[in-house]
Chains A and B, each alone.
Chain A
């Protein structure tokens, strides 16, 4: 005999359930799959084009084929992909405010913070898997053009670089999510995101003296991100090690998400 036949199940909000809800929200929007699909295909396609150019440069004797050069060519398109993932992250939060969905979401999760955490977890899972596939495919496609001169998966440092390359867009997505929570307005958040991540570094590079450049530029988010997947930093200025770059980027992510969390908690919805 089963007892409790007419007893209603005890409902309760848990982080696990909010994560499930956020996954449902993400997967039930057509725009999710269009955005991510187009970004992935475009990135891998561009990597192929860069691989073709890399091979041409090798044949012309302009470049010595090394693993580091191969990785540079493989991940040249990654900044574009990371930008799209950043905007995707912004939309996870600003889209709720734009549509008014936030009222329904916060009525269901009035403690508020699990909502942002669940969004972050789902974002990391989805963009993490996709980014790993995109980076792997970008590497293989671009290096296939160089044939025997191309870098191979087994080359020292390559596996680590691919992992670093995959982590970079995920971090940008989280930065976007935090910025979306802080600014709540899609257009404002995207403008701020592009300005802070692309325009400010470009202006800094032009404005700073060489010595200051080496002190400041490695800590700019995009540059710190690039350090995560460069084998031998060979840009116009010094770069951090992959681990330090990752740590700097993680600190940015933490700061922006903390700001978003505090404002989500305090403000009227």
Chain B
């Protein structure tokens, strides 16, 4: 279990992480979401002791990462894929890391096989593609057979095969009772991988909740309506208590009424409907809704500056 308590990190005038508290439970894949610059990577770096917190604490299974006698046994982390000397082979890179803990060389071959790099293990890592480097980073994270796995954007640069492989691996690790914290920008991927979510924006906690609860709470199911009488229909539906928004002529986004009710009302008033489509709320919608105010680099802000 990872416990983040009142964690803050300041770089000069910039507050990267601001009084952040959450816990990551074992047995689940916890998604770590937030806009660019929200403080996800900084938080992950503080979990494994690469950055020192300005205030607050972060512990893994009750102790600071650096206080564990065998840290790689506790936490396997993939933070940036290219954390490797270009001139060294993948195998020797992993061997050097393994030796710090007395992990046998046999384990290096095991993890290389797990990530599908056994055939290129003796090649210099400098020639690796981003996808291969990601796999090597995963191998390093798994080296100590850790109870907790932390992965920053693990599917970056992977082909569809690799994405599926990461998804399956994360679910397997969680099913084995490990703690899994994974960040990603790909909401569709997160929606099928994670079952719990921690969302942060501008270094602050925005949500710490189950996937289903988040979508149900934040995003709203709606109905897409296309009609030549959109303007009249809009007034009619608002009169019935619906929330209606429109981004293009003749198209309405209606929340608060079912498709059946909208169809019946339109028929009564003899208004033609060209399209009537119930829309399920997605993680992406929920995420956009939640982080709307916390996006650091927004288009409109950029124009104003």
B66→A110 contact, CB < 8 A: yes
Q: Which residues of the partner chain B approach A103 to less than 8 Å between Cβ atoms?
A: 50, 79-80, 83
**Is B88 among interface residues, defined by CB-CB distance under 8 A?**
yes
Q: Which residues of the partner chain B approach A22 to less than 8 Å between Cβ atoms?
A: 96
Q: Which residues of the partner chain B approach A14 to less than 8 Å between Cβ atoms?
A: 102
- Tell me whether A13 and B70 are in contact in the complex, defined as CB-CB below 8 angstroms, given that A18-B100, A103-B80 are known contacts: yes
**Is B34 among interface residues, defined by CB-CB distance under 8 A?**
no
- Tell me whether A11 and B50 are in contact in the complex, defined as CB-CB below 8 angstroms, given that A20-B99, A100-B84, A104-B84 are known contacts: no
- From B48, B75, B86, give the contact of A99 (CB < 8 A): B86
A12→B69 contact, CB < 8 A: yes
A13→B101 contact, CB < 8 A: yes
State which residues 76-110 of A face B: CB under 8 Å.
95-96, 99-110
A108→B83 contact, CB < 8 A: no
**Is A30 among interface residues, defined by CB-CB distance under 8 A?**
yes
CA distance A8 to B70 in the complex (A): 13
Majority secondary structure, B binding face: loop
Tell me the nearest residue of chain A to B50, going by C-beta.
A269
A107→B70 contact, CB < 8 A: no
- Tell me whether A104 and B140 are in contact in the complex, defined as CB-CB below 8 angstroms, given that A25-B88, A268-B51 are known contacts: yes
- From B48, B72, B79, B95, give the contact of A11 (CB < 8 A): B72
A104→B99 contact, CB < 8 A: no
A11→B103 contact, CB < 8 A: yes
- Tell me whether A108 and B85 are in contact in the complex, defined as CB-CB below 8 angstroms, given that A268-B51, A269-B50 are known contacts: no
CA distance A106 to B101 in the complex (A): 13
CA distance A199 to B122 in the complex (A): 43
B66→A28 contact, CB < 8 A: no
CA distance A18 to B86 in the complex (A): 21
Majority secondary structure, A binding face: helix
Q: Which residues of the partner chain B approach A191 to less than 8 Å between Cβ atoms?
A: none
CA distance A18 to B72 in the complex (A): 13
Count contacts between A and B, CB distance < 8 Å. Answer: 109
- Tell me whether A10 and B82 are in contact in the complex, defined as CB-CB below 8 angstroms, given that A104-B140, A109-B100, A110-B65 are known contacts: no
Q: Which residues of the partner chain A approach B85 to less than 8 Å between Cβ atoms?
A: 25, 29, 95-96, 99, 101
CA distance A106 to B49 in the complex (A): 8
Chain A count of residues within 8 A CB distance of the other chain: 37
Residue among B51, B75, B84, B85 with most chain A CB within 10 A = B85
B80→A100 contact, CB < 8 A: yes
Q: Which residues of the partner chain B approach A107 to less than 8 Å between Cβ atoms?
A: 48-50, 71-72, 75, 77, 79
B96→A21 contact, CB < 8 A: yes
State which residues 30-85 of B face A: CB under 8 Å.
45, 48-52, 65-66, 69-73, 75, 77, 79-80, 82-85
- Tell me whether A106 and B50 are in contact in the complex, defined as CB-CB below 8 angstroms, given that A10-B70, A11-B144 are known contacts: yes
**Interchain Cβ contacts under 8 Å between A and B, 21 examples:** A11-B72, A11-B103, A11-B144, A21-B97, A24-B99, A25-B96, A95-B85, A99-B85, A101-B83, A102-B83, A104-B93, A104-B97, A106-B49, A107-B48, A107-B71, A107-B72, A107-B75, A109-B71, A110-B48, A110-B71, A266-B52
B residues in contact (CB < 8 Å) with A: 45, 48-52, 65-66, 69-73, 75, 77, 79-80, 82-89, 92-93, 95-104, 140, 144-145
**New A-B pairs, 15, CB < 8 Å, besides A31-B87, A102-B83:** A9-B104, A11-B70, A17-B99, A25-B96, A28-B88, A29-B87, A29-B88, A103-B80, A103-B83, A104-B140, A105-B97, A106-B50, A107-B75, A108-B101, A269-B45
A residues in contact (CB < 8 Å) with B: 8-14, 17-18, 20-22, 24-25, 28-31, 95-96, 99-112, 266, 268-269
